[in-house]
Amino acid sequence: MAQLAGDRYIVISSDGHTGAPMTEYRDYLESKYLDEFEQWAKSYVNPFTDLRGQFAYRNWDSQRRRQELEDDGVVAEVLFPNTVPPFFPSGNLTARLPTSEDFELRWAGLRAHNRWMVDFCNDVAGRRAGMAQIFLNDVPAAVDEIRWARENNLFGGILLPGVPPDAGIPPLIAPDYEPIWAVCEELEMPINNHSGLAGPDFGNYPASMALWMIELGWYSHRVFWHLVFGGVFGRHPNLKLVLTEQSAGWVPAVLALLDHHYERFLTPGAAEALFGGELAAEMGMSPSDCWNKNCFAGASFFRPSECQVRYEIGVDKIMWGQDYPHLEGTYPYTREALQNTFAGVPTDEVALMVGGNAAGVYSFDLDALSAVAEKIGPTVEQTFQPLDAIPEDTVSMAFADQALKPW
């Protein structure tokens, strides 16, 4: 399988966002919900200016999106949701898990998005790995939806909701979700977790949004250690977990911290052994073992400082992400962003991080993608050279390099 297309990289973004205009979801709803949809749509006001503005088309205009990504050097992408499905109060990436009262309608709206996603991905076959969304409120329904998604070629896997401490449902360490882990392993469906999903409700205070931003990474990362100490990877050795848009620089320090606890749990006579000794003995794998075998970083706007610790993270664990169409992403300066981060880095390592790893996780066909990459991919030579200057009009966090301090 090709890792390069001639003298060019095959660039796959592990972090793209898409969705239909709200009214277009109507065609994907079950007929029994149409009357309620009409009533809901009359009173709904979209809270997101970027979904009402001049660039909103980037979420749903398939051919314009394809052309803009090719102009930016990107041949394929993994697709998370972005817009507002029927009966949701806000975008489904940031909406909290539904209550029992609103579950039925939210589930109908979410399934409408999944069905729209199939058509959107099929429009550029093999180049869009769309993922199915599920809720954790009804595990059998989630399992059925995962099987439906696999049958309909949503090979991006599933978007796993975060479980905030105040969610009102069992945490991810609970055995309730075992059927979900089992079916994802069986069908080779990666489990994706995106930042912003798992924080608690901070209320309406002056500091609420600031704290949400500061802590959203930590609440997202905890999906990893919940699955580790919940024994999920021990029971499902072929399961894949991807942590996306959560940066990647935190990984080495967090692995060291978790390994320390794991080792203390296994130390006879240690106080920690009273709390986790039996659990750790049953796990059979350290947190680092779980990371190295089962986990990946969807490294959106991957920075030079993070690239410096790529060996500690794992070169085979990093999947570069563009975050199109968000303003903090790298479009339209992806070539410059790659040059800024990967200048001087060996070609074989860059090829893995910008495309090869994502192809392995999501089963993209690199040989098929190389025909496009030969025409539009960033060149090896250009990417190897230091960037002369950061584009003046970019606000992408890929260029705002600061060493992120891990928790």
What CATH number is associated with residue 182? 3.20.20.140
In the prediction, which pLDDT does 62 show? 98
In the prediction, which pLDDT does 1 show? 57
pTM of the full predicted structure? 0.95
In 3D space, the residue among 280, 289, 178, 189 whose CA is nearest the CA of residue 240 turns out to be 189
In the prediction, which pLDDT does 52 show? 76
Domain assignment of residue 392, yes or no: no
> What's the Rg (C-alpha) of the chain?
21
Angle in degrees, CA 148, 222, 297, rounded to 5: 65
27's CB contacts (< 8 A; 6+ apart) are none
Q: Per the omega criterion (within 30 degrees of 0), is the bond before 332 cis?
A: yes
Which residue segment(s) compose the domain that 246 sits in?
A: 4-384
Tens of pLDDT, residue by residue over 143-193, are 999 999 999 999 999 999 989 998 889 999 999 999 999 999 999 999 999
**Is residue 406's pLDDT more than 70?**
no
- Give the chain's length: 407
In the prediction, which pLDDT does 404 show? 44
Tens of pLDDT, residue by residue over 353-405, are 999 999 999 999 999 999 999 999 999 999 999 999 999 999 999 998 744 44
Tens of pLDDT, residue by residue over 253-291, are 999 999 999 999 999 999 999 999 999 999 999 999 999
Domain assignment of residue 390, yes or no: no
* Mean pLDDT value across residues 9-29: 96
Quote the CA–CA distance of 191 and 156 in Å, as a whole number: 9
> Across all residues in the chain, what is the average pLDDT?
94
Domain assignment of residue 86, yes or no: yes
141's CB contacts (< 8 A; 6+ apart) are 107, 134, 135
* Mean pLDDT value across residues 193-204: 86
Quote the CA–CA distance of 179 and 185 in Å, as a whole number: 10
SS3 at position 22? helix
Domain assignment of residue 37, yes or no: yes
Domain assignment of residue 405, yes or no: no
280, 265 contact by CB (below 8 A) = yes
Say which residue, 401 or 322, is predicted with more confidence: 322
Q: Report residue 47's pLDDT band, with 50, 70 and 90 as the boundaries.
A: low
Q: Report residue 407's pLDDT band, with 50, 70 and 90 as the boundaries.
A: very low
Alpha-carbon separation of residue 353 from 159, 239, 241, 256, 284 (angstroms): 21, 20, 17, 23, 29
* Mean pLDDT value across residues 47-62: 85
**Is residue 216's pLDDT more than 90?**
no
In the prediction, which pLDDT does 405 show? 42
Domain assignment of residue 327, yes or no: yes
Kindly list the strands in the beta sheet with 12-18, ordered across the sheet, starting from the edge strand earlier in the chain. 12-18, 76-81, 128-130
Domain assignment of residue 94, yes or no: yes
In 3D space, the residue among 128, 87, 149 whose CA is nearest the CA of residue 160 turns out to be 149
* Mean pLDDT value across residues 63-81: 98
Quote the CA–CA distance of 111 and 133 in Å, as a whole number: 8
Domain assignment of residue 406, yes or no: no
Neighbours of 291 (CB within 10 A): 26
In the prediction, which pLDDT does 403 show? 42
76-80, 98-102, 332-336: range with lowest mean pLDDT:
98-102
Directed axis angle between helix 103-122 and helix 139-151, to 10°? 10
Overall domain count for the chain:
1
